[in-house]
Structure 1
Amino acid sequence: MKGRKMLTEFIDKVIKNKLNIYGIVVIKDGIKVCEYHFVPEERRELYSVTKSFTSTAVGIAIQEGYLYLNDSLLKFFEEDIPKDMPKEHLDNLGKVTVERLLTMSILDYPFVKLNSDNWLRHILSIPLPNVDERVFNYSNLSSYLAGVIVERAVKTNMMDYLKPRLFEPLGIENVECEYSPEGYFYGATGMKLTINELSRFGQLYLQEGFYNGKQLLAKDWVASASKKHIETREGGYGYYFWREQVHSYRASGMKGQVCIVIPGKNAVIAVMSDVGDRSLEMRKLIWDTVYPKL
């Protein structure tokens, strides 16, 4: 496989430690310098890396003038709110902005799997007594709402919206994803890509939104989405991107799907895996064995 020498230590330790990693791709200075697949490459579940694509969709919709960070939920869901909703809850919903959703700063949204036949109605009915408290609280509900907001604002489904604006320029065709019972893009999880497709998404961010001769994302959006807006136990969170060491950041999914953007090395490291609760161990291995060779 390409550039195996750079990955020799990483590969050896993956095997020794019995980490279920599918593959790794490393891009530096715009060139794929190494790639290794432990199993044949195919599209796999990204889990919460999906959230970073939702954030990207929000950024594109903002640059096209469809919505703003300080827009309230009420702007997009007025017709979905019951007429008999208590004024206090209505006021609290009005404090939930696009920015609060992107920063996961709504304390009252739980991290749960939705079983309702109408996710939107269920989420809008959740009491928000702590809405004024800006605290990091990871929840799929926030990213689901952010995705629905984009679809409501642009008046089309997410895949059709992103196809000419993101996927086609990145050379990604026929993206698989999940939808809610109402037919909205899930926004939190469910997308499937290959590791090479994921690495190109990271390269787009490394190049400040510029890819293959086109500015797909505004530079200021990339800077804002990737910087720390709220404190977490892991060092900070942007707009569905996690801050990493050495001023880097990552799109991250359950079971060890990661796309790490390292501006200081002009590099991207993408890994697809199924390591369960060993994601931290897997990321440490990347930093210990791959990063020093960049």
Structure 2
Amino acid sequence: MFERFFDDVSAAGIELHGAQITYQGKPVLKRCFDADIPYPVYSATKSVTAAAVLMAHSENKINIADKLYIYLNSKYTDIISEPFKDLSFRDFMTMSAAPYPFRPQEAAALIDNPDNDDWLANILRLPVDYGDRSFHYSNIPAYLVGAACENAVGMNLMDYLSPRLFEPLGWGRPVFQLSPEGHFYGATGMELTVSQLSDLGQLFMQDGNWHGDQIIPPSLIHKATSPLVKTEKGGYGYFFWTTDTTFAISGKWGQRCVACPEKQLSVTYLSHQPERSGELADIAQRFIEEFPK
């Protein structure tokens, strides 16, 4: 019955780098059609940023209800607007802070006298409508959250996550991207293997527990993977796409882990499908939903 996902993908004529199905805590089927190496996972990086924030919250270094601006470098004080000061980590992590342009780099073209070496300064000067708190998907919120979290924990997030997440999961240090001012990008730029992406989903499906070690508190896991805001595709948690029964870690062009805690089942795949990533996501979602309890 686990073969069905691969059969449906093959019938659709969609190519994968690799995929893995995990059931009841164990990998039950894995196929790598290309080399089993790290590939760009694009926006799946956002869920890694979420893990860092949840850990920092559990260590009392931040509170997700805190206003994010409190944790930005003091050199930005003069350009932080009053409406921005009202926004919490939760607002940014649920993509309901403001209708930002999609990429931090795009801010430079929308303001006078931009600083191409300081994304953060450019973003803070954007003339956005902070009264619009509906869902707006963008890379900017995850970048801001990552920068604020780094200031809160006092180090680059990759250094922060190495002993807390990567080493417990048995990973090496992943490839990642920095902004011009040296912050972990937070929204994209990481490279992971299909097994690593599956592990991240499995950690969240197991309430933050990994081989007996409680890496992230269950209460925070449940919040992060719940549909906190509505979207056209269902719901969105703390940098996780959600439905009532599943959550997904999702990249731009077909890098995804979709998990169903109720069934203890997940499907993870890596691909490069600019035109057919939505179709591939539908195949994975249908496999999860039709799998017997």
TM exceeding 0.5: yes
- Does 1:112 find its partner at 2:103? yes
The one of 34, 57, 60 equivalent to 1:39 is: 34
What SS is found at the alignment partner of 1:264? coil
Partner of 1:6: 2
Question: Per-residue displacement from partner, 1:79-108 (whole Å, max 9, x unpaired)?
Answer: 23263x4xxx62112112111110111223
In 1, the alpha carbon distance for the partners of 2:117 and 2:249 equals 29
For the residues of structure 2 that align with 1:154 and 1:113, how far apart are their CA atoms?
Answer: 23
CA distance in 1 between partners of 2:5 and 2:202 (Å): 22
Name 1:172's counterpart in structure 2. Answer: 171
Alignment of 1:1-150 (within 5 A): 6-7=2-3, 9-77=4-72, 79-81=74-76, 83=78, 85=79, 90-112=81-103, 114=105, 116-128=116-128, 130-150=129-149
SS in 1 for 2:117: coil
Distance 1:11 1:120, change over 3 A: same
Letter in 2 for 1:254: K
Q: Which runs of 4+ in 1 moved over 6 A?
A: none
Post-superposition offset of 1:72: 1.8
Q: Which residue of 2 aligns with 1:267?
A: 265
Mapped pair 1:280 → 2:278: yes
Deviations 1:246-268 (CA, angstroms, capped at 9, x unpaired): 61110101011111111121112
Asked if the contact 2:58/2:217 (under 8 Å) is kept, the reply is: yes
The 3 A distance-change label for structure 1 pair 113 and 125 is closer
2: CA distance, partners of 1:54 / 1:172: 16
Partner residue, 1:219: 218
Change (3 A) 1:59 1:119: same
Which secondary structure state, in structure 2, belongs to the residue aligned with residue 284 of structure 1? helix
Mapped partners of 1:57, 1:158: distance in 2: 7
Q: Is the CA contact (8 Å cut-off) linking 2:47 and 2:249 kept in structure 1? A: yes
Question: Alpha-carbon deviation of 1:12?
Answer: 3.8
CA distance 1:233–1:174, change in 2 (3 Å): same
Distance 1:104 1:153 in 2: 21
Shift of 1:287: 3.5
Q: Is the 8 A contact 1:95 1:131 kept in 2?
A: no
Alignment gaps of 5+ in structure 2 = 107-115
Shift of 1:289: 4.5
CA root-mean-square deviation: 1.8
1: CA distance, partners of 2:288 / 2:241: 19
What is the Cα deviation at residue 18 of structure 1? 2.6
Shift of 1:162: 0.4
Q: Where does structure 1 lack aligned partners over 5 or more consecutive residues?
A: none
1:65 partner SS: coil
TM-score, normalised by the number of residues in structure 1: 0.91
Matches within 5 A, 1:152-231: 152-231=151-230
Q: TM-score, normalised by structure 2?
A: 0.91
SS in 2 for 1:132: coil
Instruction: Indicate conservation of the 8 Å contact 1:169/1:212, yes or no.
Output: no
User: Following TM superposition, by how much is the alpha carbon of 1:132 offset from its aligned partner in structure 2, in angstroms?
Assistant: 3.2
Counterparts of 2:261 and 2:101 in 1: how far apart (Å)? 33
Letter of the aligned partner of 2:17 in structure 1?
Y
1:213 positional shift: 1.4
CA displacement 1:169-215 (0-9 Å, x = unmatched):
01111211000011110000011110001111111111100001100
